[in-house]
A and B are shown apart, each in its own frame.
Chain A
Amino acid sequence: DGGITQSPKYLFRKEGQNVTLSCEQNLNHDAMYWYRQDPGQGLRLIYYSQIVNDFQKGDIAEGYSVSREKKESFPLTVTSAQKNPTAFYLCASSIGGQTMNTEAFFGQGTRLTVV
């Protein structure tokens, strides 16, 4: 059963805490992406990775960190420096980067709430 899995589905964070969102794919995709979705603002790119051990900042990387130690995994850490972390977070993967004209496959998302 191939696909991209995000966990947990719901996550609650206290002020000042770091939290890590998991994203795993078994599609053998090289590229992976993290997006943040707020109501009325569509999807904004946080980080993306084209290959293992390499990643680039997207448009709103401040307060977030990622790692890409394995091809299958691209975890996102929301740090205490992110002042407004409450949002819906989406992970995606694709066979290659967009110069290869490839579609992205999305996970079901993690809804993070600061309490």
Chain B
Amino acid sequence: SQQGEEDPQALSIQEGENATMNCSYKTSINNLQWYRQNSGRGLVHLILIRSNEREKHSGRLRVTLDTSKKSSSLLITASRAADTASYFCATASRGGSEKLVFGKGTKLTVNP
């Protein structure tokens, strides 16, 4: 079963624009994480937001979490061609499970 569902499935923007990706999930969580994957490579961790946090920043990344709506968003500001990748949200459910469950991802293309 996949806990997180990203939206949109694909996003194409011009360099310099902002990119927003959304993630919805179903159960109560300990944390929600965002990862990036370049084509054919492993995933790289971007940011972790805990269930008691509402917003976190890291460089050009801004993540929000709304536990009442069971949703999160990842904003990449001033995008660059090098940001072209797939972005995944992953959730760690509350209740003792040690699993990290991933969504299907958003494929972002930043055109120069």
Name the contact of A106 in the complex, choosing from B2, B44, B92, B93 (C-beta under 8 A).
B44
Contact with B along A32-43 (1 / 0, CB 8 A): 010100001111
B residues 32-61 near A (Cβ < 8 Å) are 33, 35, 40-45, 48, 50
Residues from chain A with Cβ under 8 Å of B97 in the complex: 98
Residue on B nearest A107 in the bound complex, by CB:
B42
Residues from chain A with Cβ under 8 Å of B69 in the complex: none
CA of A105 to CA of B40, assembled, Å: 16
A interface residues (Cβ-Cβ under 8 A, vs B): 6, 31, 33, 35, 40-45, 48, 50, 56, 58-59, 88, 90, 92, 94, 97-99, 101, 103-109, 111
Name the contact of B41 in the complex, choosing from A97, A104, A109 (C-beta under 8 A).
A109
B residues 89-108 near A (Cβ < 8 Å) are 90, 92-93, 96-105
CA of A39 to CA of B42, assembled, Å: 14
Give the size range of B's interface with the partner: 20 to 34
B88 part of interface (Cβ distance < 8 Å)? yes
Chain A nearest CB, measured from B37 CB (Å): 8
Residues from chain B with Cβ under 8 Å of A90 in the complex: 42-43
Residues from chain B with Cβ under 8 Å of A99 in the complex: 30, 92, 96, 98
CA of A99 to CA of B50, assembled, Å: 11
CA of A109 to CA of B103, assembled, Å: 18
B31 part of interface (Cβ distance < 8 Å)? yes
State whether B41 touches A108 (Cβ < 8 A).
yes
State whether A98 touches B42 (Cβ < 8 A).
no
State whether A42 touches B92 (Cβ < 8 A).
no
Residues from chain A with Cβ under 8 Å of B104 in the complex: 40-42
State whether B99 touches A58 (Cβ < 8 A).
yes
Residues from chain A with Cβ under 8 Å of B105 in the complex: 42
Chain A nearest CB, measured from B50 CB (Å): 6
